[in-house]
Structure 1
Amino acid sequence: MKYSKFIFAALTVGSFATPTFAQEQALCPQEGPDAPLALHEEWIMEGWERHEGDPTFVFSEEMAKFYDLENPQGVFWDNFAPGNTQLFTNASTYGANWEAHVNASRSIRHGMTDAHHAVVGSGTASSVIGFVGRIEPLDGEVVAFDTRSQLGWACVGGTWKIKHELNYAWIVEEDSIEPILGKRLQP
C-alpha cells in the first residue's frame, strides 16, 4: 500500500513535468498549410523541383522540413529511385541516393493531378497525391512520368515528418503532361 501511493504520486507529478506522448502529438496541425496534404504537395512542388542555375541540391538542407533527420528510420520506397535499390529504411540514406540524379538535371518540373486525399489522426497521418513530372538531364533525353505517391506522417515536435514513403511512377509521352506542369491543387 505504501509503495502504491508513492508510485501514484510519482506518476502524477511526472505527468505535469513533461508533455505526454499524446499531448505532444496533438500539437500537429490537422488542417491548413502545415497539415499533411498541403505538405505533401509542397514536398513535390517545391522540395523536388529544380530550375537551371539552382545551387547544388543537398537533401539534408533542402528536405529537412519534410523528413525527421534526427531519427531517420522509416520505410521509403520508390520504383524510380536511382541505382539498384528501391527500398530504404533510413531517410538520410534515401535522400542522399537522389542527390547525384537531381544535380545531373538541368530542370525537374512537376504538376499536380486530381488524385489527392489525406486521413489525419492526432499523431499519425497518411496522404496520397498524383503528380506528373518532367526531368531534363544535363546530358541525355527528357524523361516524362506520371506518379502516385503515398506518404505516412508522424507528428514530431509539433510538425509532421515523413516516416513512410511509397512512390510509383511510369513513363508517359512528354506532350501528354505539358499542360499539367506547374499546376497546383492547394491555393
Structure 2
Amino acid sequence: MSKARTLFGGLVGLLITTTADARDCARTGTTSPAELHREWIMTGWEKRTGDAPFDFKTKLGKYYDWSSTDVLLYDDLAPERRMARSAEAYGAMWTPIFVSQREVRHAVVDGPDAIIGGELASSTLEFAARLEAGDGRISGIRDRSTLVWRCGAEGWRIVREHNSSYPVDRAEIDRLVPVPATR
C-alpha cells in the first residue's frame, strides 16, 4: 500500500472516530455540557462540614480531561492567578485551599448556556459562592465561569476553563446562597 493511501486511510479513520465520539456525547439532558457545568459547580466544588477530606480527582475527576496535553485552566482566585496546563496541576493548586475551608456552598445565578458543535462545546454560567474559612470567617463571591468541553470516548471533558469573580458583601451572599437553619 502506498504512503498516500495509508495516510488517507488514517485520516478517514480519525474523522470517523471523532464523528462517532461527537455523536455519543449528549447535546441535551443530564450529560450535556450545560447540565454538566451546573453539576460541576453544585456537586464537585461543594464542601460541607463533616465531608470526607477534599480530594480533587475524587470530587471533580469525571469532569476534566486528564490525558490531553492541550488543557488550559484558569481562575482569577487561584494562587498568584496561576494557570494550570493539566487537571492534575489544577487539582494540586486548589486542594490546599479547599482543605482549609470549613464549608463552600454555591448557587447558580444565571445559566447555564451552551453552544455545541462537533467535538467541542462551550458552556457559561454565573454562580455565587459562600466560603466559610476554617476560623469561621464568611466571605462571598460572584463568578462568571466559562468551560470548553471536548467530546471523547468517556463523554464531555473540560479542556479549557476561565473563571472571573468579584467579592460580594455578607448580606448579598446570605441572600444568594442561604444556609439552612438546621446546621
Band of TM-score, shorter chain: 0.7 to 0.9
CA distance in 2, matches of 1:71, 1:52: 34
Q: Which deviates the most, 48-57 or 107-116?
A: 107-116
Structure with the bigger percentage of helix: 2
Q: For residue 155 of structure 2, what is the aligned residue in structure 1?
A: 159
Q: CA deviation at 1:40?
A: 0.3
Instruction: State the secondary structure of the residue aligned to 2:85.
Output: strand
CA distance in 2, matches of 1:173, 1:79: 18
Q: For residue 185 of structure 1, what is the aligned residue in structure 2?
A: none
Q: Check whether the contact 2:74–2:82 (CA below 8 A) recurs between aligned residues.
A: yes
1:49 and 2:53 are equivalent in the alignment:
no
Q: Which deviates the most, 65-74 or 132-141?
A: 65-74
Question: RMSD between aligned alpha carbons?
Answer: 2.6
| Equivalent in 56, 60, 77 of residue 59 of structure 1 | 56
Q: Which deviates the most, 135-144 or 145-154?
A: 135-144
| Equivalent in 118, 121, 126 of residue 125 of structure 1 | 121
Q: Check whether the contact 2:38–2:112 (CA below 8 A) recurs between aligned residues.
A: no
How many residues in Structure 1 have an aligned counterpart in Structure 2? 177
Q: CA deviation at 1:179?
A: 2.9
Opposite residue 93 of structure 2, the aligned amino acid is: N
CA distance in 2, matches of 1:104, 1:42: 23
* TM-score, normalisation: structure 2: 0.86
Percent identical among aligned pairs is 30
Unaligned ranges ≥5, structure 2: 179-183
CA distance in 2, matches of 1:165, 1:3: 42
Higher relative contact order (CA 8 A, sep 6+): 1
Q: Which deviates the most, 129-138 or 111-120?
A: 111-120
Q: Deviations over 1:15-36 (max 9, x none)?
A: 68x9522222221001000000
Instruction: State the secondary structure of the residue aligned to 2:48.
Output: coil
Q: CA deviation at 1:62?
A: 1.3
Runs (4+) off by over 4 Å: none
| Equivalent in 26, 32, 35 of residue 32 of structure 2 | 35
Q: For residue 83 of structure 2, what is the aligned residue in structure 1?
A: 87
Q: Check whether the contact 1:72–1:92 (CA below 8 A) recurs between aligned residues.
A: no
Q: Check whether the contact 1:126–1:152 (CA below 8 A) recurs between aligned residues.
A: yes
Unaligned ranges ≥5, structure 1: 183-187
Q: Check whether the contact 1:25–1:158 (CA below 8 A) recurs between aligned residues.
A: no
Q: Deviations over 1:105-156 (max 9, x none)?
A: 1100000112431101121100000000111011262111111000000002
- Residue pairs, 1:1-187, within 5 angstroms: 3=2, 7=5, 11=9, 20-71=17-68, 73-81=70-78, 83-139=79-135, 141-181=137-177
